[in-house]
Amino acid sequence: MIVPSTLKYHWLAETEKFMDKSILKCEIISSKADMLNLPQEKNFLIMSYYTATRLIEEIKRLDLCFCILDEGHKIKNDKSKFNWLCYL
């Protein structure tokens, strides 16, 4: 899930509140080190648009089923720096 940086912990709290923790195991990603040290059991990643932009290559290596965007309107503009998210 890619969200504005101010909402990372809000989305973590929401997922933990409404989802079964035995199925959805969340992790906030803030740096390349977080990606490299990602436990295998984590299956729902939350990161900011800025972090996602910095970690494009690492994200492309993941076997993703979905990419959820909060404020997805950020990718609508062809000139947006987040337009690459359309091609994950």
Q: What is the pLDDT along the chain (88 residues), one digit of tens a residue?
A: 899 999 999 999 999 899 888 888 899 999 999 988 888 888 899 999 899 989 988 888 888 888 888 876 666 666 666 666 665 5
E strands within 1-88? Answer: 2-3, 26-29, 44-48
Looking at residue 5, what is its pLDDT?
A: 92
Residue 57: give the domain boundaries.
2-87
What is the domain count for the chain?
1
Spatial strand order of the sheet with 44-48 comes to 2-3, 44-48, 26-29
Q: Give the pLDDT score at 87.
A: 59
pLDDT at 36: 85
Please tell me the pTM assigned to this model.
0.81
* Closest among 45, 50, 35, 44 to 4, alpha carbons compared: 50
- Comparing CA positions, the residue from 48, 51, 52, 45 lying closest to residue 86 is 52
pLDDT at 10: 95
